[in-house]
Amino acid sequence: MALEQQTDYGARLDLAGRGFVVLGTGAGIGGEVCRALTQAGARVLCVDQALAAAQRAADEVGGIAMAADITRRPDMEAVFARAQSEWGDDFQGVVDVVGVPVPGKLAETDDATYDRQFDLVLRHAWLTISIAGPMLAKTGSGSLIFIGSLGGLRYHPGVALYCTAKAALTMLVQAAADEFGPSGVRVNVVAPGRIRDSGVSRPSEDQWARISSATPLKRPGEPKEVAGAVLFLASDLSSYVTGETLVVDGGVRGMIATPAS
């Protein structure tokens, strides 16, 4: 094949000129997603409920900081209006990182806790799709990426409603991929397994050792490994991928639990 006919894969990874909103930039995965997107040339609007957390992430990558409670519609309308006023048709994507687990057994969970869990995993995904989706659709392209969890594919004891809401996220994304596919907007999930330097639960070194031993790659993941999957889905490298859940778990999903010998 002549050189001029060959695909330039480096160019397909390039996000120069494109604006991305990152929701939940204060913890390890969100901050790393901002670094990954900006290293590929994107501009970012860093959003967190705590302005200081958003500002920290934005200052590091030369982005814009904004405080918002992403479970609230008026806040989400303001976030995506800001992205559109900053970038116009160059607003090309959203990475929604937020998904806080609220532990508890099903029979002991009250209505307020149920609502809170679904708000913290699902409501903001739906708001992103319903508010930002049509904005991107008008441009004829764009990528919506949601951080799910291995817990949405395999049940994790102690966080039943979190797993249930993450499972629903997979279906929401499949439906959105169908609704927005004709307009050129892609919608996908990245589902991490256990990731170090992130998350509300902080396992002890002993617990990390047990997590590692149950993982085919024999170690937990790192935020950069989740961000790498996000970068793939944000870029034209994944131009024929939509409605997909990309699992980043070191191989855990393929295992069955067996007693230690």
Binding residues vs ligand NAD (CB under 6 A): 24, 26-30, 48-50, 53, 68-71, 97-100, 147, 149-150, 192, 194-195, 198-200
Q: How far apart are CA 23 and CA 31, in angstroms?
A: 10
Minimum CB–partner distance for residue 169 and ligand NAD (Å): 9
Q: How would you class 237 by CB atoms within 10 Å of its CB: exposed for 0-12, middle for 13-18, buried for 19 or more?
A: middle
**Nearer Cβ to ligand NAD (74/259):** 74
Question: What residue has token string 């695909």?
Answer: 7
Q: How far apart are CA 125 and CA 235, in angstroms?
A: 20
Dmax (CA) of the chain: 66
**Nearer Cβ to ligand NAD (71/92):** 71
Minimum CB–partner distance for residue 13 and ligand NAD (Å): 23
Minimum CB–partner distance for residue 64 and ligand NAD (Å): 15
Of 247, 248, 250, which Cα lies nearest the Cα of 215? 250
CB 122 within 8 A of CB 168: yes
List residues with catalytic annotation: 162
Minimum CB–partner distance for residue 120 and ligand NAD (Å): 6
Q: How far apart are CA 94 and CA 25, in angstroms?
A: 12
**Nearer Cβ to ligand NAD (132/147):** 147
Q: How would you class 43 by CB atoms within 10 Å of its CB: exposed for 0-12, middle for 13-18, buried for 19 or more?
A: buried
**Nearer Cβ to ligand NAD (78/137):** 78
Phi and psi angles of residue 181, each rounded to the nearest 5 degrees, phi first: -55, -45
Structure tokens that stand for 236 in this block: 């034209």
> Sheet containing 19-23: which strands, arranged edge to edge?
64-67, 43-48, 19-23, 91-96, 142-147, 185-192, 245-248
Of 40, 35, 142, 148, which Cα lies nearest the Cα of 83? 142
